[in-house]
Amino acid sequence: MSDHIVSAFSGELEGLSADLLRMGGLTEAMITDACSAVTTSNRPLAKTVVEQDKTVDALEADIEKRITRLLALRQPLASDLRTVLAAFKVSSDLERIGDLSKNIARRTLDLDPAESIESLKGVPRMGRAVSLQLQAVLDAYSRNDAEQAKRVWAADDDIDQHYNSLFRETLTYMMEDPRTISAGAHLMFIAKNLERIGDHCTNIAEVIFYQVTGEYMPADERPKTPLIGA
């Protein structure tokens, strides 16, 4: 697409998208670090994640301010309007992803390493799957790739299946050995948080699809596994 006659406007839109990608990169690392911290009882790493969440919050607040200004002063229309609205929603989804990662990291501080539970080993695997979803959707965002966004969106079902199997496995351990109940409860929350992060990735995918095509993703086409305990 050609540039705006007012080139500062193009610059502002590009700046917005660059900062969102930076925010996305940060949250992506937070997911991985939070999962790693919680499975290896790495408290310093957990604290880093908690700290990083403040940076993500500040980025979101700044992006929101700039979007408000852009709406008031530039009054964007058509694809520009969609771009700005998308940025607004993506930044709020990323902020939520940051929060959820922080929640996961915090459990490191509450989990007694002596009371560990075998199924905790499943956390990094699910964390990796979720973080790959985020990576893929940010990639779609940076390339304005509606098809890629649709793939991410469809792949959320894998995350849901991950969640169900981790939930089932943890429940089995908890029933067999009551000493794992406390750790198991933490684990179920962690799995739920990761599942929620997956949902935010699909939100972002829907937003990208709308931004690029001007149309809404057909809601009924997505494969959907019912969640246990949901």
Partner 1 sequence: MSDQPSVSPKVSCKGVDVFYGDQQVIHNVSMDIADRAVTAFIGPSGCGKSTFLRCINRMNDTIEGARVEGLVEIDGENVNAQGIDPVTIRSRVGMVFQKPNPFPKSIYDNVAYGPRIHGLVRDQMDLDEIVERSLVRAGLWDEVSDRLDSPGTSLSSGQQQRLCIARAIAVGPEIILMDEPCSALDPIATARIEALIDDLRQRFCIVVITHSMQQAARVSQTTAFFHDGRLIEHGETEMIFTNPADTRTQDYITGRFG
Nearer to partner 1, 78 or 114 (CB): 78
Which parts of this chain interact with partner 1 (CB under 8 A)?
Answer: 1-6, 9, 75-82, 214-215
Nearer to partner 1, 17 or 225 (CB): 17
CA–CA distance, 24 with 26 (Å, rounded to integer)? 5
CA–CA distance, 22 with 6 (Å, rounded to integer)? 25
Nearer to partner 1, 6 or 227 (CB): 6
Closest CB 149 distance from partner 1, rounded Å: 17
Nearer to partner 1, 119 or 211 (CB): 211
Interacting residues of 209 by C-beta distance below 8 A, sequence separation 6+: 146, 149, 150, 153, 215, 216, 217
Please count the residues of the chain: 230
Closest CA to 39 of 160, 127, 165, 103: 127
Closest CB 134 distance from partner 1, rounded Å: 27
Nearer to partner 1, 79 or 225 (CB): 79
Closest CB 81 distance from partner 1, rounded Å: 6
Closest CB 78 distance from partner 1, rounded Å: 5
Question: Residue 1 burial by CB count (10 A; 0-12/13-18/19+): exposed, middle or buried?
Answer: exposed
CA–CA distance, 11 with 224 (Å, rounded to integer)? 40
Closest CB 16 distance from partner 1, rounded Å: 15
